[in-house]
């Protein structure tokens, strides 16, 4: 029997009460400080996102140094902190190292957590890393929206689902830290767009950002390859050169990751295939890896994206060539999202079987990860839909927050706090 949302609690898990009545000071500190940072830093999208993230996830920021954010212990979290204690990241390109043979060469996330261990315990560093993932995910998604034509005033609303989605909080609750670090993938998408628009140094930045995304999480390397493929099709000469730079960035992983997978420490390919059939998007019922889809996506962004698409149908034959071209681009993006959607459905589609036959892809056990690309595409489309409506940005953001409190913070997978590891 597959658990509904996540693994069953460990018998040694000790839940720490974190409601307002128990830790009121932590709640007030996060909400007041977060809103002050957001207000006084409103001219800086990063500070606005930082403040809102701290306020919305209250009392997390205040409790990060003293408790584990999410369940503890879990197999994934225990293993991650174990590899951190062993400094496995220092040997991430040594294919003979036990940790590399088990989890591959993509250990960039361990470096980020390791930096924070200079001034806090490992579990607290992991907590801070999780919060940073949310902040960067939200902010960079907004930057991507702006770079693709969204007015600045809509950046925060457009980027909302790439950081405050239910899926990411489920990952923070039970799984390893890099799964919530979608900002690395979004950053690569942003660098491709900037290379397309500006060329020059952005081409190099795209290659480096792809290397980092792949190193941070090997799944992001695969998802990023789809982004690169899209850039080859619709991008200009600068974008295509940026994709070639990305291929150069991938070479260390192609050379080292595949040999590292050929060892007895890994389960057989059949075990990965079984997992791939479970961690998918399903149509009946409509779920994203066993999470209700209507609660796992931001409905406001989805509606804004659909508004953009419907408007594009009418504008694609506009007498103004520039308007018609823009509309066709928007429709093309919507159609392009069909590919990651089909891959997210997993082994039930022939496309997945083709993908799984590629070298090394037998280990890709979570087809549902491709749905993050769908959300990223909706982010790009939504900003245009917001701007064509009559809503005020703050009104839309307030609606998003209200729905988020009901659909996400009120969901069983939203992480609470547990006692930290001893020693």
Question: Where does residue 273 rank: exposed (0-12), middle (13-18), buried (19+ CB within 10 A)?
Answer: middle
Q: Provide the pLDDT for residue 266.
A: 64
- Average pLDDT score, the chain: 90
Among 313-327, 349-363, 379-393, the least confident range: 313-327
Q: How confident is the model at residue 274 (pLDDT cuts 50, 70, 90)?
A: confident
Distance, in Å, from the CA atom of 385 to the CA atom of 274, rounded to the nearest integer, reads: 40
Q: How confident is the model at residue 264 (pLDDT cuts 50, 70, 90)?
A: low
Q: Provide the pLDDT for residue 3.
A: 65
Q: Provide the pLDDT for residue 242.
A: 94
Asked whether the predicted pLDDT for residue 403 surpasses 90, the reply is: yes
Asked whether the predicted pLDDT for residue 127 surpasses 70, the reply is: yes
- Reference 208, options 159, 157, 242, 165; nearest CA is 242
pLDDT in tens, 153-200: 999 999 999 989 999 999 999 999 999 999 999 999 999 999 999 988
- Reference 23, options 57, 52, 62, 53; nearest CA is 62
Instruction: Give the rounded distance of the alpha carbon of 138 from its chain centre.
Output: 9
**Residue 33 neighbours by CB distance under 10 Å:** 16
pLDDT in tens, 41-80: 888 999 999 999 999 999 999 999 999 999 999 999 999 9
Asked whether the predicted pLDDT for residue 312 surpasses 90, the reply is: no
Q: How confident is the model at residue 259 (pLDDT cuts 50, 70, 90)?
A: low
pLDDT in tens, 321-358: 777 877 888 888 888 999 999 999 999 999 998 998 88
Question: Where does residue 330 rank: exposed (0-12), middle (13-18), buried (19+ CB within 10 A)?
Answer: buried
Q: Specify the pTM.
A: 0.93
- Reference 330, options 268, 375, 382; nearest CA is 382
Asked whether the predicted pLDDT for residue 2 surpasses 60, the reply is: no
Distance, in Å, from the CA atom of 186 to the CA atom of 133, rounded to the nearest integer, reads: 11
Q: Return the structure tokens found at 155.
A: 């950046």
The DSSP element (H or E) to which 69 belongs, if any, is strand 68-69
Q: 413 with 296: CB under 8 angstroms? A: no
Distance, in Å, from the CA atom of 309 to the CA atom of 316, rounded to the nearest integer, reads: 10
Q: How confident is the model at residue 6 (pLDDT cuts 50, 70, 90)?
A: confident
The DSSP element (H or E) to which 287 belongs, if any, is strand 286-288
Show the CA angle centred on residue 328, arms to residues 322 and 330, nearest 5°: 105
Q: Provide the pLDDT for residue 172.
A: 96
């Amino acid at each position: 029997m597959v658990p509904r949302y996540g693994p069953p609690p460990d018998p040694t898990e000790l839940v720490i009460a974190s409601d307002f009545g128990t830790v009121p000071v932590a709640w007030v500190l996060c909400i007041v400080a977060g809103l002050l940072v957001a207000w006084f830093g409103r001219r800086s999208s990063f500070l606005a996102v930082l403040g809102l993230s701290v306020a919305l996830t209250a009392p997390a920021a205040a409790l990060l140094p003293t408790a584990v954010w999410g369940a503890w212990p879990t197999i994934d979290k225990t293993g991650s902190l174990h590899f951190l204690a062993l400094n496995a990241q220092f040997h991430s390109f040594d294919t003979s190292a036990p940790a590399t043979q088990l989890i591959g060469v993509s250990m960039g996330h361990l470096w980020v957590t390791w930096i924070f261990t200079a001034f806090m315990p490992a579990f607290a560093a992991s907590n801070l890393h999780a919060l940073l993932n949310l902040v960067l995910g939200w902010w960079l998604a907004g930057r991507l929206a702006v770079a693709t034509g969204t007015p600045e005033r809509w950046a925060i609303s457009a980027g909302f689902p790439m950081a405050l989605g239910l899926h990411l909080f489920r990952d923070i609750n039970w799984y390893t830290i890099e799964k919530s670090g979608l900002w690395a993938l979004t950053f690569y998408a942003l660098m491709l767009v900037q290379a397309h628009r500006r060329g020059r140094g952005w081409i190099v930045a795209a290659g480096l950002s792809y290397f980092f995304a792949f190193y941070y999480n090997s799944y992001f390397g695969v998802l990023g390859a789809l982004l690169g493929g899209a850039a080859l099709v619709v991008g200009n000469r600068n974008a295509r050169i940026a994709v070639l730079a990305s291929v150069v960035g991938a070479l260390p992983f192609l050379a080292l990751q595949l040999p590292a997978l050929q060892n007895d420490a890994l389960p057989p390919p059949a075990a990965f295939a079984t997992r791939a059939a479970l961690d998918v998007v399903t149509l009946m019922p409509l779920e994203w890896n066993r999470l209700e889809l209507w609660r796992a996506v931001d409905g406001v962004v989805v509606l804004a994206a659909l508004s953009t698409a419907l408007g594009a149908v009418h504008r694609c034959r506009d007498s103004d060539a520039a308007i018609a071209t823009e509309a066709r681009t928007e429709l093309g993006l919507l159609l392009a999202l069909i590919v990651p959607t089909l891959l997210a459905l997993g082994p039930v589609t022939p496309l997945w079987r083709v993908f799984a036959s590629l070298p090394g892809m037998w280990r890709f056990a979570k087809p549902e990860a491709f749905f993050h690309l769908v959300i990223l595409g909706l982010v790009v489309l939504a900003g245009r839909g917001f701007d064509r409506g009559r809503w005020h940005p703050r009104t839309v953001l307030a609606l998003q927050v209200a729905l988020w409190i009901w659909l996400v913070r009120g969901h069983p997978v939203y992480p609470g706090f547990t006692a930290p590891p001893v020693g």
